[in-house]
Chains A and B, each alone.
Chain A
């Protein structure tokens, strides 16, 4: 399915599939959180309703052209990144860019958002962006450390290759089992990457009025929701590909997605929020040294 008509079909269908998965995951997340809090919670496709409502708002305010372009960059960048992350049956684009590319592509949507938020001229938004960028120094560095270790171990930086290697070796070679230190560190990083508690200081609704989203209303917020919903399965997939051996079939894929997301959500539901410097210190004290230790062990084994 990585050539010819099949490829074109995939290219066109994949965003929809991904969005649908995102809606399900998002709805599942809200439902699960509600159940943890002993509420009924919304329906599983509640995110879809939200998006539709937002996109059909009749008035929308913008603070300038950068604000508009930012939204396009946000969604466009996320879609682009999505293509470079291999999923079962579709890995055409991973030959043109490895994990390093993905790592940088992942920065395009935040950059777009940051620029747009900047132009809204709202300090809450700017504070949110400032926090988001500072948080990068926490979770992103940890994630990259784990990736570097992993790539070094297998001698490739291609996410698809890493995935294939793990699939060939069976569950015992899955990153999380073969290199548990890296896996644990990456789990922490995933929590940060998904902006879930306790690393949710970027949004902090009660403190900085949802930060970057402060001035976003109507379709602008809608675009951000769409981006979030596409990014959710994608970010989980990245983790999955690196540490859970990816997936060979869609059933396996969806199951792994939901299991992984459940883990994240449970933590999210029961924890409070770190301050920015607290979060950074946490990352630098626990997950990053863990990852570094893991890398040292890999190097020691290799020698």
Chain B
């Protein structure tokens, strides 16, 4: 019987692999950015899963509640940070893609080879 955590782990790694695969197979820069985002999502899922406790509760200290049954709050904090950073990077990337399109007239990675060797 596969536990929820296992499903989540598998899903998150699958997402990471799919994202990376997109990055290394897609020529379209937008798709590359999307691929990275998919990988990001996978990572975030992974982080959250690590903090996941089967049947755990919201990690808020209330009267009479022990920390043992809470999900780990640290990964969630991490995920928040990671999401913010991911958002920033994605925005910057998309801006750059726009600029690149304005400059080169293409978003095809295979035609963007002014810098090589």
Is there direct touching of A and B in the complex, by C-beta distance under 8 Å? no
> Which A residues are closer than 8 A to B by beta carbons?
none
